Every structure is written in C-alpha cells, then in structure tokens.
Amino acid sequence: MVVALAIGLSGWSGVSRSIASSTLAHTAPYTIGLSDFFIGNSWQAENISLFNQACHSHPKLVKSCIVENANGSISAQIAQIQALISRRVDAILLDANSAAGLNGVVSRALAAGIPVENYDSIITGRATSKINTNQYQWGVLTGTWLVNKLHGKGNIIVLNGLAGNPTNNLRYAYAKQLFARTKGIHVLAVGYDLWDRAKAQADVSRMLDAYPKVDGVWSQGGAMTAGAIIDFQKAGRKLVPMTGEDYNGFLKLWIQNKSKGFTSLSPGQPNYLVTLAFYAALRALHGQHFKSAVNVPLPVITDQTVNRYYRSGKPVSYWVLDKLPMGEINKLLR
C-alpha cells in the first residue's frame, strides 16, 4: 500500500478548479484527526474502521490517528475541532453536523495550516476539499421512484436520519417537495431515526399501530429500511415499495422477498468516501494539487442488480460499498 501511494503521489498533476496545500511545513509521520458528527450507527462505525485501517496501512507516513465523536452536537463538534487544532494535528477529516455552524472553526484550522478534508456531510464554507456524492440527487431518484411506483396515489411514511444534518436535509429536500405537490400522496408520519435499524423499528412499529393503510416507505438509510421490513412482517402487513441503501442486512431481506413482490431503489452513500478523504489529506500534506470539489458517482442498486451487491459472507451490519481500488482513488482526486 505504501508503494501504491508513492506511485499515486508521484503521478499527481494540477487540474482546473484545483488547490494547493499551504502545509509544506508538515513532516511525516503525521497525526491525522477525524471529527465525526455521530458514530451511533453501523455506517459511521464502518467509516471509523476504514479510517483506522488506512492509517495503519501507512506506518511510515502516519504515526497516530485521533477520532472525535460529537454525538449529534454542533457545539461539541466545534469544541472537538478546536481541540484538534490546539493539539497541532497535521490534517483533519470532517463529517459535519451542520452546513454553516462549523465554518468558523474550519477557517481557524485552515489559518493554522491544517488541511481539512470534508466528506459525506458538507459545510457551506471553505475546506481544503469537499468529497461527496450528489445528495440532492439521492432524494430526486428515490422520491420520483416511490411516487411512480404508487402511480401518484397512496399513504407513505418517511424515515429520516438526523434532523438538521446536511446530508439528511439535502436528501429530503426534493422528496419532501415532491410529496407535497403530488396531490394523491399523503405523508402520514416522519421519523428521525439516525440511520439506525433499532430506532427505525421502534418508530415504524408505532406508525403501523397508528395507521392501518401504509402504501410506501421513503427511507434514506438501508438499516432503517431493514427495520421497516422486519416490522411490516411482524405486524402481518404486506410489504410495500421502500427505498433504501447498501446495508447488507437490507439487501438480504430484499432478495428474500423479491419473489413476493417486494421492490426497492437504493442509491448507496459509499463508505469509501472516508478513504478518499484520507488520501486527499496525504496529498495535501505533500503539497500536491488536486480538486477542491470531488464529485463521487452515486451508485444505485435496483431490483435487477441487488444480487450483485449482496455479500453472503458478511454480517448484516456490513455496508457493501466500502472498497475502492487505488487507481480509482487517484482518478477521482486528480
């Protein structure tokens, strides 16, 4: 892996809309911090695992990695980033809890010569790089699919992630507007379940008790969709169209129930975003030029492709979009 990284760095070239790090004073081995808005679900836990794996793969370049969990608090995340600045870390990876609330502390990090690689949940202010799929498009695809599946008529429930979170807001923005302007669609209830299966199960159980007719589920997380399927089956309710993601347990349930008419469309937010952020940080610390906006293609799983994505040898909590070859990393970053 060290050799692959050296090849990637030596072949680096500047492109339009690129940036150069002002952190040439940093000397390897580095200390890299990761500030995460929330680590209370399996997707985030897998991110931290991938981050630690990347750090340990490069012992000559990285001496230590620090993980900070804001547990959903904007003020806690600000304080944690400030603490990373005070500890003089060499780079910060950021999964943000607020689109605008972290701009000030990130600017302080940049002023201190610390590159900040922002991935997944994106801030509105400056960062060294911003690495993400198109989260608004996530909502366009899933909202349109569900309305079309229901032929513009039906009662639906909504399973969101974390209220106020940038990713949550972007995904729901279009879908919410679409549901509101489609006269035949009625949103019965909205849950905020932190992209977590257990929390979604508790919410969906209450929703099914309250509403005898639910025709569709718009869920912005595969673990939450798995919870919804389990609750529908426990309640003896017929499965309805549901959106999801690349959570392995959901993919398994999807495959098991396809013959019974279950259908889904599931764009996946890849866990390898954190890996891209890690390598962007190394490039910044080497003074290389690279894109300030890294637009990662949004993978979409369908009824026709779900069998290709499911991993029978992996646990249900596994998120399948976790690996990206070094060659693809180099292509996306340069």
Domains, the chain, ordered by start:
2-133+270-297 (3.40.50.2300), 135-267 (3.40.50.2300)
Flag whether pLDDT at 23 surpasses 50: no
Flag whether pLDDT at 21 surpasses 50: no
Mean pLDDT (whole number) for 142-161 = 98
Flag whether pLDDT at 288 surpasses 50: yes
Percentage of residues in the chain having pLDDT higher than 90: 89
CA–CA distance, 255 with 98 (Å, rounded to integer): 36
Mean pLDDT (whole number) for 306-310 = 98
Flag whether pLDDT at 289 surpasses 80: no
CA–CA distance, 132 with 110 (Å, rounded to integer): 20
- Tens digit of pLDDT for each residue in 75-124? 999 999 999 999 999 999 999 999 999 999 999 999 999 999 999 999 99
> How high is the pLDDT of residue 24?
45
Flag whether pLDDT at 198 surpasses 90: yes
Mean pLDDT value across the chain? 92
> How high is the pLDDT of residue 334?
85
> How high is the pLDDT of residue 25?
61
The model carries a pTM of 0.89
Mean pLDDT (whole number) for 142-152 = 98
**Low-confidence winner among 40-44, 208-212, 315-319 (lowest mean pLDDT):** 40-44
- Which one is predicted more confidently, 42 or 17? 42
Flag whether pLDDT at 8 surpasses 90: no
Mean pLDDT (whole number) for 186-190 = 98
